[in-house]
A and B are shown apart, each in its own frame.
Chain A
Amino acid sequence: MPDWKAHVRPRLATLRLSPSREAEIVEELSQHLDDRYRELIAGGASPDEATKLALGDFRDGNLLAQHMAPLRQAHAPSSITPGSPGGHVFSNLWQDLRYAARALRKSPAFAAVAIATLGLGIGAATSIFSVIQNVLLAPFPEKGAERMVFPRIHGALQPQDRGRQMFTPAEVLGFAENNHVFDGFAAANGELMLYQHGEGAELLFGADVTPGTFEFFGLPPLRGRVMQPATTSPAPRRFS
C-alpha cells in the first residue's frame, strides 16, 4: 500500500493549519486515496496503475492548497512555545494572557498557590518599600528634610556620640547670630501644657518655638495662622 500521507502532507505545507487539524486532513485525504486505490485494484488495475490513477485526482498547480487558502482553519495562529522569542511585546500580550489563563485553569491547585504567593510577595514588597521609603529615603515629611541637621555639642576630648543636643537660650541665639553655613534655624522648647476648651481642660504636648519655625519646616498650620513678625519680640524674653 502506498504511503498516501507522504503525498498529501506536502500539498498542505503552504497553509498555516494547526498541527492537529493538519493531521486530521492528512488522515482523511489518505483514506480517500486508499479507497480509490482499492477500488481500482478490485477493478483489475495493477498496483502501479492504481497508485498513479489515485494520485491523478490531485490536479496540477496544487489546487488543494489554493481552494483551502481562504478558509479560517488555514490561518491558525502560531503555536505558543514558552521561552521562544516573539514579536512585539504588546502584539503577543493577548495570546500570552490566554495561554496563562488556560494553563492556570488546567491546574487549579497550582493556580491557587501561585496567586497566594504572588499576593504575599506583592504585600511583603510593598511593606518593605514603605519602611525603606519612610525610614531611609524620606523619613520626615518636612520640606528639605534631607538638609536638616540636629547639632550635638560635646567636649573636645569626648567621643562624637557623647555631649548633648539640648542648648541654652544663649547658645541658640549665639548659633543664630554667628551662622554662616545654614539657610536658617529653628529651636523649640517642648513642654506639657493644659489646653482649656468648652468641654474642659486637655493635656497637650506643646512647645515654645523661635520665629519662622513653620516656614523653616515648610508646613502650614493646621488651624489659625503662623507667627507674624509683629507678634514676635526681637529678643525672645522666654529664652533670656
Chain B
Amino acid sequence: MADIDTRALDRELKRGSAELLILSLLDARPRHGYELGKLIHTRSGGQLTFHIDSLYPLLYRLEEREWIKGTWVEKPEERRRRFYKVTAEGRRVLAQQKKTWEAFVEAVRRVTEDEHA
C-alpha cells in the first residue's frame, strides 16, 4: 500500500474531496456546471449536493489553477453553454488525489476490520 501523504490527506478531508469529484467526472468527458451538480447528486444517492454558490466558485478555482478549462460551445438551435474539460495538469492532480484517497480508504478499512476482529 502506498504511504499516505498526511498533509495531502488533511487537505482532502477539509475540502471533502470536492476537487476529486469534479476532476473525476470531467475526466470521462467535458460537462457543463449543471450536469456536474446533477451527476454528483444522483450518483451519491442524494448524499452529496453542490449548491450553485459553491459549485461554480470551485469550478472557477480549478480553472485558475489550470486543472480544468472552460469553453463556450455553441450548437445550432441551442443557447451556448460553458463546458469544462480536464487539462493535462488536472489529470496529473487527479491521479495523485485518487491515490491519496484510496490509501486513506484502505487505511480506514484495515483499522475498522481490526476493531471487529
Q: Which of B3-39 contact A (CB under 8 A)?
A: 32-34, 37
With A58-B52, A59-B51 as contacts: A64 and B57 at CB distance below 8 Å: yes
A68 interface contact, C-beta 8 A: yes
B81 interface contact, C-beta 8 A: yes
Q: Which of B48-101 contact A (CB under 8 A)?
A: 51-54, 56-58, 60-61, 64, 72, 79, 81-82
Assess whether B54 is in contact with A67, with CB atoms less than 8 Å apart: yes
Assess whether A71 is in contact with B51, with CB atoms less than 8 Å apart: no
Tell me the complex Cα distance, A73–B81, Å: 20
Q: How large is the interface on A (under 10, 10 to 19, 20 to 34, 35 or more residues)?
A: 20 to 34
Assess whether B61 is in contact with A71, with CB atoms less than 8 Å apart: yes
For A58, list chain B residues within 8 Å (CB): 51-53
For A33, list chain B residues within 8 Å (CB): 52
For B58, list chain A residues within 8 Å (CB): 67
When C-beta atoms are compared, the residue in chain A nearest to B35 turns out to be A35
Q: Indicate which residue in B51, B54, B64, B81 contacts A31 across the interface (CB closer than 8 Å).
A: B81
With A31-B79, A57-B52 as contacts: A73 and B60 at CB distance below 8 Å: yes
Q: Indicate which residue in B34, B56, B61, B79 contacts A64 across the interface (CB closer than 8 Å).
A: B56
For A35, list chain B residues within 8 Å (CB): 34
Tell me the complex Cα distance, A72–B61, Å: 9
Assess whether A63 is in contact with B54, with CB atoms less than 8 Å apart: yes
Tell me the complex Cα distance, A11–B57, Å: 13
Assess whether B53 is in contact with A32, with CB atoms less than 8 Å apart: no
Interface of B (DSSP majority class): helix
Assess whether A71 is in contact with B57, with CB atoms less than 8 Å apart: yes
Q: Which of A56-77 contact B (CB under 8 A)?
A: 57-59, 62-64, 67-68, 70-73
Interface of A (DSSP majority class): helix
Assess whether B33 is in contact with A32, with CB atoms less than 8 Å apart: yes
Tell me the complex Cα distance, A24–B52, Å: 15
For B54, list chain A residues within 8 Å (CB): 63, 67
Q: Indicate which residue in A64, A70, A73 contacts B52 across the interface (CB closer than 8 Å).
A: A64
When C-beta atoms are compared, the residue in chain B nearest to A72 turns out to be B64
Q: Indicate which residue in B52, B61, B72 contacts A32 across the interface (CB closer than 8 Å).
A: B52
Minimum CB–CB distance from B61 to chain A (whole Å) comes to 6
Minimum CB–CB distance from A71 to chain B (whole Å) comes to 6
A96 interface contact, C-beta 8 A: no
Assess whether A68 is in contact with B52, with CB atoms less than 8 Å apart: no
Q: Which of B33, B57, B58 has the most CB of A within 10 A?
A: B57
Minimum CB–CB distance from A90 to chain B (whole Å) comes to 29
Tell me the complex Cα distance, A11–B37, Å: 20
For B37, list chain A residues within 8 Å (CB): 32
Across the A-B interface, give the 3 residue pairs with the lowest CB-CB distance, nearest first: A67-B57, A64-B53, A63-B53
Seen from chain B, the residues whose Cβ lies within 8 Å of a Cβ on chain A are 32-34, 37, 51-54, 56-58, 60-61, 64, 72, 79, 81-82
In addition to A57-B52, A59-B53, 8 A-B residue pairs with Cβ atoms within 8 Å of each other are A24-B72, A25-B60, A36-B34, A57-B51, A58-B53, A62-B53, A64-B53, A71-B61
Seen from chain A, the residues whose Cβ lies within 8 Å of a Cβ on chain B are 11, 24-25, 28-29, 31-33, 35-36, 57-59, 62-64, 67-68, 70-73
